[in-house]
């Protein structure tokens, strides 16, 4: 059975939905600090309102539902974290260690997402290697590197089956972005449909790795189903699927919405975070060790995003 902590967030909601689709609602237990949003999106099945740092309650849930796999998806993302570094450290680290302690006691496997945010300005920006220097300059990145090291520690010291991927910016047609630096790449599609214009908070030539939610969810499930004897890495695997800048994304949107225009009001904090991150990762380790192979690209994602938003627009 699976427990998803942070199951109402941007990534958590969609992993919850897909896991319930694949494994059945009763085998997928959801938990989130909030209980007000989009629960109907995920349908029935066990749900607990719980703070990710509350190891005691999480331990009770794990024992009650004989959980064998925990998806730990509760965190403050980069832009929001930068506004409140101590809250980000508290949630991102004390939430994670609570899960790792519960996993150690109950022999659960743990999935924890890392991010391209785990790299910094001294990391090679083009085809960023799987094993390279990681000195992020955002507090979010600090918690991601610390999280990777903590998960590897629990694996080597206590044999906890911890695994993770370094996510690019995630683009979803179902759940709103969660306060990240890459949120522009989601908002732009909704604004393109709503008013054929988007004012972007990053410079038009800012390249970042991005991934469409269906591929992001597939990675989270595929890595946890992988044969552990093949894994030479664990926390966390580079995964890549597309790298683009706002200008490029706007050009693809114009192939569907010819009148679409983009303008720029650069947010200096978000731009500084984006400039400290790589432009594109290399993900050979994920491809070799657990057959990672994304399906969407900027063209097919743009078509799917706009068609989905149009279908929903009254």
**Measured from the CB of residue 47, what is the shortest distance to ligand VAH in angstroms?**
24
Q: What is the rounded CA–CA span in Å between residue 40 and residue 188?
A: 26
Contact 11, 216 (CB under 8 A): yes
Among the listed residues 180, 246, 278, 294, the single contact to ligand VAH using CB under 6 A:
180
What dihedral angle (degrees, nearest 10) is formed by the CA atoms of 253, 258, 261, 262?
A: 10
Binding segment for ligand VAH among 15-23, 42-50, 114-122, 293-301 (CB under 6 A)? 114-122
Rounded-to-integer distance, Cα 74 and Cα 121, Å: 26
Among the listed ranges 36-44, 60-68, 129-137, 178-186, the one in contact with ligand VAH (CB under 6 A) is 178-186
Contact between residue 117 and residue 138 where contact means Cβ atoms under 8 Å apart: yes
Q: Is the separation of the CB atoms in 257 and 202 below 8 Å?
A: no
89 contact partners, CB below 8 Å, separation of at least 6: 139, 142, 143
Of 9, 147, 169, 278, the one binding ligand VAH (CB under 6 A) is 169
Residue closer to ligand VAH (CB basis): 174 or 310? 174
Q: Does 119 bind ligand VAH (CB under 6 A)?
A: no
Mask: binding to ligand VAH, 135-164, rule CB under 6 A, as x and -?
Answer: -----x------------------------
| Nearest-approach distance from CB 276 to ligand VAH, in angstroms | 11
Adjacency order of strands within the sheet including 169-171: 169-171, 208-212, 242-244
198 included as an active-site residue: no
Selecting among 140, 154, 167, 189, the annotated active-site residue is 140
Stretch that binds ligand VAH, among 15-23, 50-58, 113-121, 300-308 (CB under 6 A): 113-121
Residue 234 CB, nearest approach to ligand VAH (Å): 19
What's the distance, CA 111 to chain centroid? 11
Which CB sits closer to ligand VAH, 59 or 182? 182
- Contact between residue 46 and residue 27 where contact means Cβ atoms under 8 Å apart: no
78, 162, 172, 243: which one binds ligand VAH (CB under 6 A): 78
- Least distance CB 119 / ligand VAH (angstroms): 10
Find the binder of ligand VAH among 3, 165, 170, 236 (CB under 6 A): 170
What angle do helix axes 10-23 and 213-225 make, rounded to 10 degrees? 60
Closest listed residue to residue 77, CA positions, set 184, 13, 169, 165: 169
Contact between 12 and ligand VAH per CB under 6 A: no
For the chain, how far is it from start to end, CA to CA, in angstroms?
39
**Position among 9, 12, 117, 294 found at the interface with ligand VAH (CB under 6 A):** 117
Q: Does 13 interact with ligand VAH (rule: CB under 6 A)?
A: no
What one-character DSSP code corresponds to residue 27? Answer: G
Binding mask 181-220 for ligand VAH (x = CB under 6 A): xx--------------------------------------
CA pair distance 49, 298, nearest whole angstrom: 36
Q: Is 100 in the site for ligand VAH (CB under 6 A)?
A: no
- CA triplet 210, 216, 220: central angle to 5 degrees? 140
E strand or H helix at 2: strand 2-5
Asked if 96 touches ligand VAH (CB under 6 A), the answer is no
Shortest spacing between CB 265 and ligand VAH, in angstroms = 18
Binding residues for ligand VAH (CB under 6 A) = 77-78, 115-117, 140, 167-170, 180-182
Catalytic residues: 140
């Amino acid at each position: 059975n699976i427990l998803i902590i942070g199951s109402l967030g941007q990534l958590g909601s969609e992993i919850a939905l897909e896991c319930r689709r694949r494994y059945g609602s009763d085998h997928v237990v959801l938990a989130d600090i909030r209980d007000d949003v989009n629960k109907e999106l995920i349908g029935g099945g066990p749900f607990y309102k719980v703070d990710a740092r509350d190891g005691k309650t999480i331990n009770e849930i794990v024992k009650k539902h004989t959980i064998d796999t925990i998806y730990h998806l509760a965190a403050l993302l980069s832009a929001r974290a930068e506004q409140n570094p101590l809250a980000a450290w508290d949630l991102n680290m004390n939430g994670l260690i609570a899960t790792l302690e519960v996993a150690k006691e109950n022999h659960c496997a743990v999935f924890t997402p890392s991010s391209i945010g785990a790299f910094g300005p001294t990391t090679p920006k083009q085809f960023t290697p799987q094993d390279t220097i990681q000195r992020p300059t955002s507090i979010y990145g600090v918690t991601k590197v610390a999280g990777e090291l903590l998960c590897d520690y629990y694996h080597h010291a206590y044999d906890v089956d911890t695994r993770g991927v370094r996510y690019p910016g995630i683009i979803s047609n179902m759940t709103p972005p969660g306060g990240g630096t890459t949120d522009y790449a989601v908002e732009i599609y909704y604004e393109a449909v709503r008013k054929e214009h988007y004012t972007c908070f990053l410079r038009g030539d800012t390249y970042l790795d991005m991934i469409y939610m269906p591929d992001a969810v597939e990675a989270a499930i595929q890595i946890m189903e992988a044969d552990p004897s093949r894994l030479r890495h664990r926390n966390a695997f580079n995964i890549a699927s597309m790298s683009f800048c706002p200008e490029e994304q706007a050009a693809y949107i114009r192939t569907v919405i010819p009148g679409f225009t983009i303008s720029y009001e650069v947010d200096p904090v978000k731009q500084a975070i984006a400039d400290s991150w790589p432009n594109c990762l290399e993900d050979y380790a994920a491809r070799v060790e657990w057959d990672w192979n994304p399906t969407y690209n900027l063209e097919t994602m743009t078509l799917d995003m706009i068609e989905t938003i149009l279908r929903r627009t009254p």
